[in-house]
Amino acid sequence: MGKVYLIGAGPGAADLITLRGADLLKRADIVFYDALVQAEMLELAPGAKQVAVGKRCSRISTDQRFTNRNLVEAAAKYDIVVRLKGGDPMLFGRAQEEIEALESAGVAYEIVPGITSALAATAELGVSLTERGVSRSVVFATPRVGEGEDVSDWAPAVARADTAVLYMAIGQAVEIAGILEAQGMPLSTPVVLVENASLPASRHVGSTLRGLKDGAARGLSGPALLLFGDVFRKRAHALIGRELMTGDVPLQAAPR
Ligand code: SAH
């Protein structure tokens, strides 16, 4: 019986995986990887059979139950089975479902953490998520609700946090901005959008909650995060000027 390693691939850049994760990839017999995992990172596992199981919203996806079963079956055949997930496995990565499948099948497993995309985004922006006197709370949330799940009450926590990061939200950004406004978040709240954090195609857009409502997220298509809060004020405003100059994003951010 082999062992299954749930490994965080980090935000995208191939050198932002942990040494432990890279070492396991090198020794892996088989790797099941997500759609957000970059081809470069798979080069770290030259000896492994590589199986794509990822899902990217609205593209072809692999059923989660199928992935769970794959992992259990692979553990019966191989010594080192790697499940490689974007960012950190324990944050919006459906790791719990895989852990439960492995536990109920009696398969040994280990989690290797990774850098979640929110941390790569703030590193790139040069903005700390917390700041003395400005931000003492950080919320990571997603408005996405999977099929068959209960309605989510994500908005109050986001509106109340000093700093908030929304995952899987870019496609519904206009609606999200309306929901947050209804929760009492001021329209002047600084917003930064970060697309493809840590990758060469990385892009930053500065805005406000009002700008988001007016379509600031239009034109972003890669994986992206919405970041809210006063810690982003300076950066958002600097970016607004730049984006308006280059004019490549239809941005109507309101000045404060
Ligand atoms: N476990 C992952 C998140 C998976 S959910 C993590 O810890 O980062 C997928 C969402 O993550 C995407 O919709 C997007 O919001 C975000 N994301 C992943 N990679 C990203 C990147 N390089 N840049 C910006 N956002 C990213």
Q: Is 189 in the pocket of ligand 1 (CB under 6 A)?
A: no
Residue 2 has pLDDT above 60, yes or no: yes
Contacts of 100 (CB under 8 A, 6+ apart): none
Give the residue-averaged pLDDT of 148-158: 88
Q: Are 77 and 196 part of one and the same domain? A: no
Q: Are 224 and 202 part of one and the same domain? A: yes
Residue 58 has pLDDT above 80, yes or no: no
CA 105, 109, 114: angle at the middle one, nearest 5?
135
Q: DSSP state, 139?
A: E
Q: What is the pLDDT of residues 29-40, one digit of tens each?
A: 999 999 989 999
- Percentage of the chain modeled with pLDDT above 90: 81
Q: Between these two residues, 4 and 57, which has the higher pLDDT value?
A: 4
CB-based contact 33:53 (threshold 8 Å): yes
Q: Is 165 in the pocket of ligand 1 (CB under 6 A)?
A: no
Domain containing 45: what range? 3-112
Q: Taking Cα atoms as reference points, which of 226, 214, 195 lies closest to residue 253?
A: 214
Q: Is 224 in the pocket of ligand 1 (CB under 6 A)?
A: yes
Q: Is there a domain that residue 200 lies in?
A: yes
Ranking 133-142, 172-181, 242-251 by mean pLDDT, the lowest is 242-251
What's the pTM? 0.92
Q: Is there a domain that residue 253 lies in?
A: no
Q: Is there a domain that residue 255 lies in?
A: no
Which of left, alpha, beta for 219 (phi over 0: left; psi -120 to 50: alpha)?
left
Q: Are 107 and 189 part of one and the same domain? A: no
Q: What is the pLDDT of residues 88-121, one digit of tens each?
A: 999 999 999 999 999 999 999 999 999 999 999 9
Q: What is the pLDDT of residues 60-76, one digit of tens each?
A: 556 888 889 999 999 99
Which numbered atom of ligand 1 lies nearest the CA of 11? Answer: 22
**Final residue of a structural domain among 46, 81, 112:** 112
Question: 117 CA to middle of ligand 1, Å?
Answer: 5
Which numbered atom of ligand 1 lies nearest the CA of 88? Answer: 7
CB-based contact 236:125 (threshold 8 Å): no
Active site residues: 34, 55, 168
CATH number at residue 155: 3.30.950.10
- Kindly report the protein residue whose alpha carbon is nearest to atom 25 of ligand 1: 224
Q: Between these two residues, 155 and 221, which has the higher pLDDT value?
A: 155
Question: Whole-number mean pLDDT of the chain?
Answer: 90
Q: Is 86 in the pocket of ligand 1 (CB under 6 A)?
A: yes
Q: Are 154 and 233 part of one and the same domain? A: yes
55: confidence class by pLDDT, cuts 50, 70, 90: low
Q: Are 42 and 9 part of one and the same domain? A: yes
Residue whose CB lies within 8 A of the most ligand 1 atoms, among 145, 225, 228, for a mutation test: 225
* Whole-number pLDDT of residue 93: 92
Q: Is there a domain that residue 256 lies in?
A: no
Q: Is 21 in the pocket of ligand 1 (CB under 6 A)?
A: no
CB-based contact 155:178 (threshold 8 Å): no
CATH number at residue 28: 3.40.1010.10
Q: What is the pLDDT of residues 143-152, one digit of tens each?
A: 988 777 777 8
- Percentage of the chain modeled with pLDDT above 70: 91
